[in-house]
Structure 1
Amino acid sequence: MFFVIPCIDTFKIVDLRVLSFDVPPQEILSRDSVTVSVEAVIYFRISNPIISVTNVNDAQFSTKLLAQTTLRNVLGTKTLSEILQERDNISSVTEKVLDEGTEPWGVKVQRVEIKDIRLPHQLTRAMAAEAEASRDARARVIAADGEKNASR
């Protein structure tokens, strides 16, 4: 039983369960100057409720803001091909940086997952056209080799 004296004491309820939130789509300029839209999911929990209440005004909101900026910073150092190929590595680096940043707030980041990576439509079309041209070139080389062998 706790007694709360009005106007002097305050209390705050802290949820110690694992919480998750979606990082809204972040428009990121990669190292090779390509704009990419990235979404992620962050799983975290309050590890020390006393520190989370005393050291930061709103630990959940602060963690969300830090997650957005950390995701932008980590992905800004990667090229487009690295972003598309190394999702697990990016997730683990982001998790490590977030966990170090939120430790003084009494927050433990447990998992970071890259949910979606969207490329601009023009870039998608250009990549598809390049792949099609490459396939056509290989088909012509194979056909020319076949004709060469047939003429022998």
Structure 2
Amino acid sequence: MNKMKIRKGQLGLLAKEGDYYQILEAGEHRMPWFSTPDVTLIARDGSEVAADLGDTLRRFHPEWVEKYCLVADTTEHEAAALYSHGVLLEIIPPASRRLFWQDSDNLRLVRMDTRDVSVPTEIMQAVLQPRTRDKTVKGRDIILTVNVPAWHAGVLKIDGETQALLPPGLSAYWKVNHLVEAEIVDLRLQVLEVAGQEILTRDKVNLRLNLAANWGYSDVLQAFSQLTKPVDHLYRELQFALREAVGTRTLDELLENKQVIDEVVSAQVAERMASFGMTVASLGVKDIVLPGDMKTILTKLVEAEKSAQANVIRRREETAATRSLLNTAKVMESNPVALRLKELETLERVAERIDKISVFGGLDQVLHGLVNIKGGA
């Protein structure tokens, strides 16, 4: 007789001509010299039974399956969590057919009904626990985890139906047997830019406008129950209102009253978005860009207007100066002392601009006679 030793933590499957007929546990076993069977050593370490071998064992040796294996079969509405030594290894999806070699009762299976779309908290925490890449939980892709930060809310849709708002925190849901969608919504005031809008005015002038709006949700559930994408809808409404405000007015009207665009767009958007649970706190046109030829025309127009205004002011000042001179002349004509004071003032101004003055004949001669002025070298 030939001897074979099966080590602890192993099983030996004996087969003749491909058919398994006996299973050996750990220990020393006698084997015949003739007609020696094929021996397949199996490690009882919680590893999965190969699919072909598993089907054979289920069909021909169900007692072996019951004694040495962990059966992890799941129904269409059932998922299972596979634990080894208390650590979650894998999430087994519904409608699965799996076998694992039992490791001294260290393998444990927890079954969960996926018709309850919420994943148990302990499973969610085990899935999200940081691990190395080769230790991540298998099958975690059938779970949708939602992390709602502070000052936000989560909009959850299950099979197309909007659920109650999710508060800040973590939650998880089964993605199998359900269509689960989650969107994180910022509850604070937000900014929406409507940039590069090219619009024709009523007098066919092409303008490019950039608009910014500060907006927020007044009722998140109302917005998402009526609109697939509320922000996109608000963007389109701002576009429509901007085109209506600009397209029904001439360029001159817009230039005369630049606030009319903000007022018209704000009133129209506020009215249209009120029923969708969204409010616009404020908005304004940031830039109005004119085409190049229109810029040239307006520049020339402004230059002409400013030039005309400058001419009017110049003439007004000249008239005022002439009138002042005339009044001064009348005063001097009737008052010789005032005339003499004016002459002294003139002499003072002349003296400020020269280096040396030679006077002959006294002050009277300066005023009424010859004045010899010699400048500096």
- Following the alignment from structure 1 to structure 2, what is the Cα–Cα distance between the partners of residues 126 and 9? 59
Q: 1:67 to 1:138 in 2, by over 3 A?
A: same
CA separation of 1:28 and 1:139: change in aligned 2, threshold 3 A: same
Look up the SS of the partner of 1:37 in the other structure: strand
Query: 2:183 & 2:298 partners in 1: Cα distance?
Result: 53
Distance 2:191 2:202 in 1: 29
Deviation at 1:11, TM superposition (A): 3.9
- Number of the residue aligned with 1:125: 296
Q: Secondary structure at the match of 1:61?
A: helix
The structure with the largest strand share of the pair is 2
Which structure has more helix as a fraction of its residues? 1
Which residue matches 2:267? Answer: 96
Residues in 1 aligned to 2:260 and 2:191: alpha-carbon distance in whole angstroms: 20
* Deviation (angstroms), 1:137: 9.8
Q: SS of 1:78's equivalent?
A: coil
Identify the match of residue 49 of structure 1 among 204, 208, 220: 220
1:106 equivalent in alignment to 2:247: no
Higher relative contact order (CA 8 A, sep 6+): 1
Checking the alignment, whether the CA contact within 8 Å between 2:254 and 2:260 is kept in structure 1 is no
Residue 94 of structure 1 aligns with an amino acid whose one-letter code is: V
Range 77-86 or range 1-10, more displaced: 1-10
Find the structure with the greater CA-based Rg.
2
Q: Give how far 1:139 is off.
A: 4.1
Aligned length: 145
Does 2:257 match 1:79? no
Q: Distance in 1 between matches of 2:258 and 2:302?
A: 23
The letter for the 1-side match of 2:183 is: K
Does structure 2 conserve the Cα–Cα contact (< 8 Å) formed by 1:45 and 1:107?
yes
1:18 and 2:189 equivalent?
yes
Superposition deviation, residue 49 in structure 1: 0.6
RMSD: 2.7
Counterpart residue type for residue 117 of structure 1? I
What amino acid does structure 2 have at the position aligned with 1:113? G
Q: What runs of 5+ residues in structure 1 fail to find an aligned partner? A: none
Deviation at 1:36, TM superposition (A): 1.1
**Cα offset, 1:20, TM superposition:** 0.6
Are the aligned partners of 1:4 and 1:10 in contact in 2 as well (CA < 8 Å)?
Answer: no
Amino acid in structure 1 at the alignment position of 2:240:
T
* 137 and 102 in structure 1: CA distance in 2 versus 1, 3 angstrom threshold: closer
Q: In structure 2, the residue corresponding to 1:14 is in which secondary structure?
A: strand
Q: Which runs of 4+ in 1 moved over 6 A?
A: none
Could you tell me whether the CA contact under 8 Å between 1:47 and 1:108 is conserved in 2?
A: yes
Distance change (3 Å), C-alpha of 1:108 and 1:35: same
Contact 1:55 1:104 in 2 (8 A): no
